[in-house]
Amino acid sequence: MSYIDHYKKLIESELKSNKNFYFMRAVAPGADYFIENGFPLKKKGNERWKYLDLRNVTSSNFIKSIYEERISTDFESVLEKLNSCGINIVEDEILIVGDEDNHLAGRNFIEPEGIGASSPSKTNIGEIANPEEDGFIALNAAVADITSFWIDENFSKKALNIVFAGQSQDERLVTERMCIKILKNTEVTINEIHFDSNFNTLNIPVLEIHLDKDSKLIHNKVILGSEKDMNFNFTRVFQEEGSSYQNNSFCHSPSIGSNDIKVIMSGEGSECDLRGIYFTNNKNQFNTHITVDHLAPNCKSNQFFKGVLSDESKAVFSGKIFVEKGAQKTYATQKDLNLLMSKGAEIDTKPSLEIYADDVECSHGATAGNVDENTLYYMMSRGLKKETATRMLVRGFVDEMINSISDDKIRKFASNQTELILPNLAFK
C-alpha cells in the first residue's frame, strides 16, 4: 500500500467520525489536494522544500489516536512537563490545549472574560492557511483536530499559553489546527510551546491568526525537537488596518521539520516583526520559510533570523518580501545570519524581494560563516580554553535573539535551553 492510499483510508475514516460537519465541509479541499499530490517530495520546481530530503515522512504509515483519546487531555501531566522545564503557569495566565470538540479547556479556563470558542458554522477553516498551498497543510486540513476561538479587549490575563505535548509511544500523526481571531483594539501575548515526543511521530500543527483593526499580538513560539520526531509547523497571519504582529521563535531542530510563517498585511498602517533563532545538530534538517505579503500602503515589516549549525546537520532559510502594486510607502527588511560550527554543516539561504510598487524602502541580506578566529585567539590568549571561548562567542551571537523575547518566563526558558544545547554542539 502506498502512503497516499494509507492516508486516503485515514481521511475516509475521519469523515465518518463524529467530527463537526461545518469544519469538515470547510476543509474538504485539503483531502482532494493531498490525495492528488501527496507530500512535496519532488525537488524539481519545488522551491520551498528542494534542499531537504523529505523521504522519511513516508517511512512509516502514521496513524491517529481514536477520537475519544484525543479529547481527554491530562492537563496535570502537561503542567508537570512545563514545570520540569522551568515554565510556571501562574494565576494571571491561561494554559490551553485544543481538542476537536470545539471547546476550550485548561488551567484557569473557567469562562474567563474576553475569550471564547467560535461558532463552528461561522469559522472559515483554511481561509488564511490555504489547503492547496502545500501537501503538509493539505493533510492537516483533511484530518485536522480543530480548536477555534476569539479574544477581545476584555481579556485581562497576562498571557495565553498553548502547549503541544504528545504523550503517545506509537507512531502517531498529530494534526492540530487552531484558528484564533484577535478582535479590534485587543492586545494579547500568546506563548506557543511544542515539546518533542521522543517517539516516531509526524507533527503537522497549523495556526491561523486573524488580527482585526488596531489589535496587537505578541506571539512567542518554542519548538523542541528530538532525533525521532518530525515537526512541520505552519503559522498563517492576516492583518487588518493598524494591527501589529510580533513573532519570536526559538527552535531546536527535530530530525526533520520546519518553522513556516506567512503574514498577509492587508490593512494600511499595519506592522509585523518576525525574528528567531534555530539550532541544528547531528544529521537533522530544518527549514525556516518566511513570507510577508505587503498588500496595503504604509506598512512596515522586519525579518531577522539566526542559525547555529553543527555536525552534519542542514538548515534552509528562505525569506520573501512581496510588495503588491499600490502598496506604496512600504518599509521592509530581511536578514539571516548563520554560524557553521563544523565542516559537515550546511546552510542554504535564499532571501528574495518581489516588488511591484515604486515608492518603497526594502532590503535583504544573508551571511554564513565560522566563529571569528581573531576574536577566538584573543580570548584564548587571556587564558580561556578554545571550547569555552567558542561557547561564549556563540552565546553572544544567540543572546541578541533571546533578549528580544518580551515574556520573562519564555526568555528565561530559551536561555536555559541554550545552555543545554551548546555542550552538545560539535565545535570542529
- How confident is the model over 378-397, as a mean pLDDT? 83
Would you say residue 388 lies in a domain?
no
Among candidate residues 128, 416, 410, the one with its CA nearest the CA of residue 247: 410
What pLDDT, on the 0 to 100 scale, is given for residue 70? 52
Strands 145-151 and 176-182: parallel
Would you say residue 378 lies in a domain?
no
Residue 282 carries which side chain, given as an amino acid letter? N
* Grid coordinates belonging to 425: 554542539
- How confident is the model over 148-153, as a mean pLDDT? 91
Would you say residue 306 lies in a domain?
yes
- How confident is the model over 40-57, as a mean pLDDT? 88
- pLDDT band at residue 108 under the 50/70/90 scheme: low
Report d(CA 145, CA 125) in Å as an integer: 11
Q: What tens digit of pLDDT does each residue of 302-336 get?
A: 999 999 999 999 999 999 999 999 999 999 999 99
What pLDDT, on the 0 to 100 scale, is given for residue 247? 98
What pLDDT, on the 0 to 100 scale, is given for residue 346? 94
Among candidate residues 205, 274, 223, 222, the one with its CA nearest the CA of residue 244: 274
Would you say residue 319 lies in a domain?
yes
Q: What tens digit of pLDDT does each residue of 185-205 get?
A: 999 999 999 987 777 889 999
- pLDDT band at residue 171 under the 50/70/90 scheme: confident
Domain range spanning residue 104? Answer: 3-371
- How confident is the model over 391-402, as a mean pLDDT? 91
Would you say residue 392 lies in a domain?
no
Rounded mean pLDDT of the chain?
86
Residue that wins the pLDDT comparison between 316 and 69: 316
| Sign of the dihedral through C-alpha 294, 327, 363, 404 | negative
Residue 99 has pLDDT above 50, yes or no: no
Would you say residue 70 lies in a domain?
yes
Residue 102 has pLDDT above 50, yes or no: no
Give the total number of structural domains in the chain: 1
Q: What tens digit of pLDDT does each residue of 243-288 get?
A: 999 999 999 999 999 999 999 999 999 999 999 999 999 999 999 9
What pLDDT, on the 0 to 100 scale, is given for residue 382? 80
Strands 330-340 and 115-117: unpaired
Would you say residue 407 lies in a domain?
no
Instruction: Specify the pTM.
Output: 0.92
Secondary-structure percent of the chain, ordered helix, strand, coil, rounded to 5: 25, 35, 40
Q: What percentage of the chain reaches a pLDDT higher than 90?
A: 52
The string of DSSP letters for 183-216 reads -TT-EEEEEEEE---SSSEEE--EEEEEE-TT-E
- How confident is the model over 25-37, as a mean pLDDT? 77
Would you say residue 417 lies in a domain?
no
